[in-house]
A and B are shown apart, each in its own frame.
Chain A
Amino acid sequence: MDRLLFLLATGLARGAIFALFALSLVLIWRAARIVNFAQGAMAVVAVYVAFAVTGLTGSYWAGFASAIVAGAAIGFAVERGVMRFAPHDSPLSGVIIAIGLVMVLQSALGILFGATVRPMEVPFDERPIVIAGVPVLSPYDLFVLVVAVAVMAALGVLFTRTSLGLQLRASAFAPEVSRLLGVRVSRMLTIGWMLSAAVAALAALLLVPTELGLSPHSTDVLFVYAFTVAVVGGLDSPPGALLGGLVVGVLMSLVTGYLGATVAPIAVLVLLVVVLLVRPGGIFSARQVRQA
């Protein structure tokens, strides 16, 4: 029972990270109708920046801030420098260019920093807090949960309560009409990419310390999990990403705890295939499935 509680709590913390990353995928999907397969590679570049900054200044928080800034900068560079040139006649070309980006970024990191896994330190106690004799969450997991909730709340406010959010939503849903009404659609697209990449960088930064460490491939699995989350929740729905993240996080934590860590990727694959076979639009999406 104690173990179950511990796994559930850890799963929630992991799920919060998956949800954040999935949310970043949803943001780009809504803004540009592209599933950004390079999101993981872009995020890991930002985490390397954070790692370097933390190494130079000795402060985790300076690294934390720099990861978010670097994430936004990478999002800007990718949108303006690469994605803008994707041909629009086929939905696949965006995906293919993103894959090229993954290869470029990961191999460049490999050349610059080598394939060695670098452990990342966090200024938190790793030992779990014990509540009523049951070990529940480590302070770091608590921090992850708080950050994830704060970011989601901030994004929620941004999208529903501000003029910028309104413009972002408008240019995503009806670009032509928005342009006629004076919205700078192209700029909104860039802002969408920057927001999304920054959120992804944050999610990767939160995840890496809980894993083995930082390497050019640290986010490969995170991307697959987050993609699963986005599919489970529906790519169009931010609340779906949140719920999906928690579901997948808890599920993975239970699978890892009871069946072993090697089974987790298989469980994700099975979950993904089952969801796609049963409800291709996502469990939490009420909309019609997209054609073609």
Chain B
Amino acid sequence: MSTDPYVLRVNGGDHQVPDAYLGESLLWVLRERLGLPGSKNACEEGECGSCSVQVDGELVCSCLVLAAAAVGREITTIEGIAPGGGLADVQRAFVEAGAVQCGFCTPGLLMAVDTLLDDLPDDGSDPDDLTVREAISGNLCRCTGYGRILEAVSIAADIRRGGRT
């Protein structure tokens, strides 16, 4: 049974979703109906984090969000973290550190790191190692071994605080 048409607010714009099945996940709707394939689909059970997006500023797995229940929420995907078409600070940091191999986990990791950096300590200190590891613990990378990802987080934190340009 299809739902009544509904509207999702994604990356600052309103998107009509007509004729969807009620059980469609936000991930499915983003990728298959709204043409936003940046959020990746792997496990569909919240294990891998490759579909991570922000809903009202909170990091969630879009595969576990019922799309029709996200009406009225502010949804930010990887396509929306760099307004203006350039690279966001987290993206620059991942490039600089070489924190990408196959790239499949990268969009989800970028959303996780972006969320972490939104909540940086006010005293200007770096997030400690445990905090960083916990923040990305829901994002699986099977290529890098995480070393360069941790390095990228440190670079991104520096950029975010204005320590470098």
A and B bind? no
